[in-house]
Structure 1
Amino acid sequence: MPPTLSASIDDRLAGTDRLLATAYPGDDGSRQPVHTVYVPGDTVTHDLPAVWGVAALAAANSAGGVEALAIAVGIPFDLAATIAPLVERKLEREPVEDLRIDFEDGYGDRGDDAEDADVVRAAGQVAAALEAGTAPPYLGIRFKSFEAATRGRGIRTLDLFVTALVEHGDLPDGLALTMPKVSTLAQVEAMAEVAAELERVHGLPDGRLRFEVQVETPQVVLGADGVAPVARIAHAASGRVSGLHFGTYDYTAALGIAAPHQSLAHPSADHAKAVMQLAVAGTGIRLSDGSSNVLPIGDRADEAWRLHARLVRRSLEHGFPQGWDLHPAQLPTRFLATYAYYRDGWAEASARLRHVHDRTAGAVLDEPATVRALAGFVLRGVRCGAITVEEVATGTGLDASALAALANPRRMTS
């Protein structure tokens, strides 16, 4: 092959090389929470995670305890016995992984004076939680949408919240900003401008303020031009988009689906989420499923717990490692279903990872992409508490850094 041809091909594919390196960098290897707890903006307190954890354990105890609840929602006896103490420990130590203080639908329109006061108060509660060490790993706000009727209020709330946090000290590492009801790429670009201006005003590093986009309008899945705006959003805003979160009820309602049939499991919801997955594959943008509004309280608690556990498991199996929770009584089934999912796959994943460097051992010869998926699966299980670091060392021979390197090799070598 003449050297000139090779050089010519390199020149021809330089654009492709740049695209793959910049637009598809892969996951950054950081932790992704398994859920987002969502509370109205005027109800947040600095000790909310602990309060929810106590309420979650009380709810489980009303069903006979965490292990009894696990069995009641369909988890096999042996597995229930294994994960019950892990879930109990989780609810005691870290019941909330991600907290979203809501100033959109869950808060409503209470007038500017009331919302201004509640935003500043919420920022103060966040600062108090950070100082006391009671804050969850991830937290932030959902502000009102950039639709015409609420745009000004949404920007004002975002400005007040960030400003108040900066006045209290450094922004939390796990700060999350959620942009709801996105319909067009232009709205996301406008949000990026707002974020850049807030960084300029407060002397923050460029790119410090990233945000999640809620996919809850049909227009963002299929635009008027026949193109999927969500795919363009994934490559817009100078890398500021950190996640796509599905909005179950706004989306299904917008399609005319009757309230009793609005669900994470509706075929229309699955279609939207499949488009979301295609849009962000390889970009490093995280995916989150939505919520179930059937709460496990009152006479229908048992039915609601079974539904919630089933939906959590379904989301995980469909490639959505995160979802939204609306009530403390949903936390036991969130973690039971999540832990059961990772424990179910642990034996096979550990065996296959153990043979990664020994191609003559084991019954399956895994491709590098499958090894990454296996390592990523185990790493997520470790980070949420379903699998212990000691188990990983014993079962795979890998320590935490080696596991992370297998899960995200591009990040570790870049």
Structure 2
Amino acid sequence: MEQSATSLGGSVTETLATLLAPVDAELARRYPGDPGTRQPVHTVYVPAHDLTADTVRSWGARALDALDEHAPDAESFGQVLGLDGELAETVYARVRAKLESEPVEDLRVDFEDGYRGRSAAEEDADAARAARLLAEAHADGSAPPGFGIRMKCMEAAVRERGIRTLDIFLTALVRQGPPPAGLVLTLPKVTYPEQVSALDVLLSRFERTHQLPHGALGFEIQVETSQAVLGPDGTVTLARMIDAARGRARGLHYGTFDYSAALGVAAAHQSSDHPAADHAKSVMQVAAAGTGVRLSDGSSNVLPVGGTPKVHEAWRLHYGLVRRALARAYWQGWDMHPAQLPTRYAAVFAFHRELLPAAASRLAAYANSTPGQVLDEPATARALSAQLLRGLDCGALDIGEVARQSGLTRADLEAFAAPGPAAGKPAD
């Protein structure tokens, strides 16, 4: 074996380690990577006064009714969305099964834009009732994987009301037990990092009052203003907002219509595929990358209601917007009507099923160090694994078919997807 020589003594390693120790700590704190937990494919918004114990089941039933009326079989559904043959059959069957078993993946009870005309006493009662209903659903297993409320924003006109509603909701919730794992709060219309800091202060005090661990309560930041993207000093405000949350930020959610209106986009052109929306979401994506904060697209306000031609038109639009978002790595979006659920899940399922063969083949080649047509690096292996895990989590894929095509178990996929400088290969 050829001998190797060095010119620098071991002390240089120690010197550089000391020099870079603050940077190492900062990287670990600011950029821990994806948490590795399930991300919902959507968030469903329901006005607080409309919430009932039957809301989730009702949304699933109404979505199935829409399918029965406007696309009663795989062929007709496939014709609407441009899906052919076996893919149409598989997607249609999985969509129906999803709507029967888990129609909503993430539920947000809305005390903001969707909640109007209620007195202070009624809002107090609605906040307490929402906590009770969500706690009961979590206890009996009928709650969706994610749930929470959207409070009013931190602007002066509604700040006190928003704080009170959040306090009532959380107080009633923790009286039922520790905060559920799926609990997420949403802070809308954020313009300054100090508003994020204010919510962090509020939640810290609540945690101390109820002897909860620091960080037990997290929240999403809704991006609905131009100031949230670009500050008056020319810097990206979103990055400072994530930092201001002190580890509580769970997601950045794009608000399609408030943001578009803030930029003066005409109502007829306000959509999640407008260039202004693409710019905002690209900035969101870069600001959140590596932080563990996840991204969500907004909603479509063209609802699948009315006669069958109108429903089909809205379905095609919604399906196309969701597919477009998925291709841009916006894995989550908002749904505002039960009849949007069929096309949400159809788009997500078709996306993952179409990508399965190539993803499984490439990952198998990487895992076995087998030369293939594509030379994948560790970062790509991480992305391929994360993609397959997303498909498994939402019901687009089954572990059996993934294992057959890739030779990998779920534990293998999780090992590849784990954050770090390189995708770790599964242990033998």
Taking structure 1 as the reference length, the TM-score comes to 0.97
Q: Is the 8 A contact 1:313 1:338 kept in 2?
A: yes
Instruction: Tell me, yes or no, if structure 1 residue 33 matches structure 2 residue 43.
Output: no
Shift of 1:397: 1.4
Shift of 1:4: 2.8
Aligned letter for 1:21? A
What is residue 185 of structure 1 aligned with on the other side? 193
What is residue 353 of structure 1 aligned with on the other side? 363
Q: Is the 8 A contact 1:46 1:135 kept in 2?
A: no
What is residue 71 of structure 2 aligned with on the other side? 64
Shift of 1:391: 1.0
Q: Is the 8 A contact 1:359 1:365 kept in 2?
A: no
Farther off after superposition, 370-379 or 109-118:
109-118
Q: Is the 8 A contact 1:102 1:141 kept in 2?
A: yes
Which of 238, 245, 262 matches 1:237?
245
Shift of 1:65: 2.2
> What secondary structure does 1:256 align onto?
coil
Which of 100, 108, 117 matches 1:92?
100
1:247-258 matched pairs, under 5 angstroms: 247-258=255-266
Equivalents in 1 of 2:194, 2:86: separation in Å?
Answer: 52
Distance 1:60 1:260, change over 3 A: same
What is residue 284 of structure 2 aligned with on the other side? 276
Aligned letter for 2:279? H
1:335-354 matched pairs, under 5 angstroms: 335-354=345-364
Equivalents in 2 of 1:357, 1:302: separation in Å?
Answer: 43
1:44-83 matched pairs, under 5 angstroms: 44-65=51-72, 67=74, 68-83=76-91
Q: Is the 8 A contact 1:253 1:259 kept in 2?
A: yes
1:1-400 matched pairs, under 5 angstroms: 1-65=8-72, 67=74, 68-299=76-307, 300-400=310-410
* Larger of the two Rg values belongs to structure: 2
Shift of 1:128: 2.2
Equivalents in 2 of 1:371, 1:131: separation in Å?
Answer: 38
Structure 1 stretches of at least 4 aligned residues deviating more than 4 Å after TM superposition: none
Equivalents in 2 of 1:2, 1:354: separation in Å?
Answer: 42
> What secondary structure does 2:367 align onto?
coil
Equivalents in 1 of 2:221, 2:403: separation in Å?
Answer: 37
Equivalents in 1 of 2:183, 2:145: separation in Å?
Answer: 9
Farther off after superposition, 350-359 or 6-15:
6-15
Aligned letter for 2:412? A
- CA-to-aligned-CA distance 1:337-374 (integer Å, 9 cap, x gap): 00001011101000011112322342222100000000
Equivalents in 2 of 1:7, 1:66: separation in Å?
Answer: 67
Equivalents in 1 of 2:369, 2:113: separation in Å?
Answer: 54
Shift of 1:398: 1.3
> What secondary structure does 1:149 align onto?
coil
Equivalents in 1 of 2:416, 2:243: separation in Å?
Answer: 26
> What secondary structure does 1:144 align onto?
coil
Shift of 1:253: 0.4
Gaps of 5+ in 2: 1-7
Shift of 1:401: 1.3
Gaps of 5+ in 1: none
Q: Is the 8 A contact 2:77 2:92 kept in 1?
A: no
> What secondary structure does 1:324 align onto?
strand
RMSD of equivalent CA atoms:
1.5
Aligned letter for 2:199? M
> What secondary structure does 1:239 align onto?
coil
Q: Is the 8 A contact 1:126 1:135 kept in 2?
A: yes
Shift of 1:209: 0.5
Shift of 1:204: 1.2
Aligned letter for 1:318? R
Q: Is the 8 A contact 2:207 2:214 kept in 1?
A: yes
Shift of 1:19: 1.7
Q: Is the 8 A contact 2:385 2:416 kept in 1?
A: yes
Farther off after superposition, 49-58 or 351-360:
351-360
Q: Percent identity?
A: 53
Equivalents in 1 of 2:168, 2:359: separation in Å?
Answer: 46
